[in-house]
Chain A
Amino acid sequence: MIEATDVRFSYASKIEALKGVTLTVKDGEFLAIMGQNGAGKSTFVKHFNGLLKPTSGKVIVDGVETTKTSVASLARNVGFVFQNPDHQLFSETVEEEIAFALKNFGFAADVIEKRVTWALELLSLAQYRKTSPFLLSGGERKRVALASVLAWNPQTLILDEPTIGQDHEQKEKLTQFILQMQAQGKTVVIVTHDVEFVAECNPRVVLMKEGKIVAEGMGKDILTNPQILAESSIVLPQIAQVFSKLSALGFPKNVIDIYEAEKIILNAVGSKQR
Chain B
Amino acid sequence: MSVFDGLKFRKVYSPIHNLDPRVKFIYVISIFAVAIIFAQIIPLLFLFVLQVPFVLLARVQRQWLRSLRGAAFLAAVIFAVNVGSSFFYAGYKIAPPAVESALALTLRFVVLVESSSVFFLTTSPDHLGLALEESHVPYEFAFAFTTAVRFVPVLAEEAQTIMDAQKARGLELEKGGLMKRIRNYIPVLIPLIVSAIRRSLELAEAMESRAWGATKKRTNLYSLKLHKGDYALLAITIGILIAAVYIRLYVPIPTIVHLL
Contact = CB atoms under 8 A, between A and B. Distances in A.
Real binding pair: yes
B169 A51 contact: no
Contacts of B194: 86, 89-90, 134
Interface in B141-176: 158, 161-162, 164-172
A72 B170 contact: yes
Contact of A71 (B161, B167, B195): B167
Interface string A195-221: 000000000000000000000000000
A80 B169 CA distance: 8
A19 interface: no
A149 B169 contact: yes
Interface string B96-109: 00000000000000
A51 B164 contact: yes
Given A86-B198, A87-B161, A87-B195, A49 B168 contact: yes
B187 interface: yes
A149 B167 CA distance: 12
B164 A90 contact: no
Nearest to A70: B172
A105 B171 CA distance: 9
Interface in A75-90: 75-76, 79-80, 82, 84, 86-90
Nearest to A104: B170
Contact of A72 (B162, B171, B198): B171
Interface residues of A, number: 25
Contacts of B168: 49, 51, 71, 75, 79-80, 82, 149
Contacts of A79: 168
Contacts of B191: 86-90
Nearest to A81: B168
B191 to A, nearest CB: 5
A75 to B, nearest CB: 5
A79 B169 CA distance: 8
B171 A104 contact: yes
Contacts of B161: 82, 84, 87
B190 interface: yes
B246 to A, nearest CB: 46
Contact of B164 (A72, A82, A89, A104): A82
Contact of B165 (A82, A105, A152): A82
Contacts of B195: 86-87
Contacts of A89: 191, 194
Nearest to B161: A87
B169 A101 contact: yes
A152 B158 CA distance: 26
A23 B104 CA distance: 56
B186 interface: yes
A104 B164 CA distance: 15
B186 A72 contact: no
Which of the listed residues A84, A87, A100, A152 has the most CB atoms from chain B within 10 Å of its own CB? Answer: A87
A51 B162 contact: no
B167 A72 contact: yes
A88 B171 CA distance: 11
B36 to A, nearest CB: 35
B170 A51 contact: no
A72 B172 CA distance: 7
Contact of B158 (A51, A70, A76, A87): A87
Given A90-B190, A134-B194, A100 B162 contact: no
Nearest to B171: A104
Given A49-B168, A86-B198, A88-B166, 10 more contacts: A51-B167, A82-B165, A84-B161, A88-B187, A90-B191, A90-B194, A100-B169, A100-B187, A104-B171, A149-B169
5 contacts: A75-B170, A82-B168, A88-B162, A90-B191, A101-B169
Interface of A: 46, 49, 51, 70-72, 75-76, 79-80, 82, 84, 86-90, 100-101, 104-105, 134, 148-149, 152
